[in-house]
Amino acid sequence: MFTLQCDRAYLYGHRERELSDEEQARYDEALAQRAQGVPAQYITGHQEFWGMDFLVSPSVLIPRPETEHVVERVLEVLGDWRGEQKPPKNIFARPRLVDVGTGSGCIALALAKELPQVEIHATDISAEALELARANAARLNLEARVAFHQSDLLAGIEPPFDVVVSNPPYVGLAEEDQVQLEVRKFEPRIAVFAGQTGLETIARLVPQAYAVLKPNGWFVLEMSGTIAEKAQTLLDGWPNLQVMPDLQGIPRVLSAQRPS
């Protein structure tokens, strides 16, 4: 399908189709890259997330199904703002949300699709990642819905916000040899590894989130099971602290409200 730029139905309907020399060379090159461990998403340049097709490159982390749980949690806390209907009068004013370390833009754009009345911002330290995120926004006709900023976490971002959401680097260098070869060899290290323990980026982000969140605003974070307990201690004193497991039962999404 990638080689011929066609869909699956075309392949089934044209079994007699023979590849040209150029197509065969392109197919063989894709197989050779995959045999070397290059993720299929980087070869094809695409990955599905939240029912949308995202461009991906080695400058961004490949969107993963477990990150959809982060989107689900944000939709739970902002559920009254889903769709085009006007929220009840007792709901707070139009919310502001920021996605920290947006990468391909998958979280911010999924939320932009589901929450058309919410003001959404997205940050990343990487200019290359932001360029790709903006390209995805344009392809998905959501470029007017998300404001992108080049920033180290929340530095220089104008507060306040009702929600801070992030899928930060959370793998420790101490566990690098346990990480899939595809991940540690081909995905951007800055988006995977946070430091020796895996908590370093989250430890920096928590006080920044506290500073920009409104009282009772929500902080929603993706993490791994190996750091789940220690990550929770960083939010001691935050009300409504919850941990949501992924489909494998691994603690995956940490959420809490900023103390009032």
Q: What's the CATH number where 190 sits?
A: 3.40.50.150
pLDDT of the chain, 260 residues: tens digit per residue: 999 999 999 999 999 999 999 999 999 999 999 999 999 999 999 999 999 999 999 999 999 999 999 999 999 999 877 777 666 655 657 899 999 999 999 999 999 999 999 999 999 999 999 999 999 999 999 999 999 999 999 999 999 999 999 999 999 999 998 889 899 999 999 999 999 999 999 999 999 999 999 999 999 999 999 999 999 999 999 999 999 999 999 999 999 999 98
Report CA-CA distances (Å) from 235 to 123, 181, 203, 228, 256.
22, 32, 10, 11, 8
- Residue position matching structure tokens 């399908």: 1
Report if residue 106 sits inside a domain: yes
Report if residue 20 sits inside a domain: no
Buried b (16+ CB within 10 A) or exposed e, 201-212: bbebbbebbeeb
Report if residue 2 sits inside a domain: no
Q: How many domains does the chain have?
A: 1
Report if residue 31 sits inside a domain: no
Report if residue 40 sits inside a domain: no
Report if residue 98 sits inside a domain: yes
Report if residue 47 sits inside a domain: no
Range of the domain at 94: 57-257
Tokens encoding 193? 């590894």
> What contacts 35, CB < 8 A, 6 or more positions away?
none
Tens of pLDDT along 225-249?
A: 999 999 999 999 999 999 999 999 9
Report if residue 6 sits inside a domain: no
Amino acid at 183: V
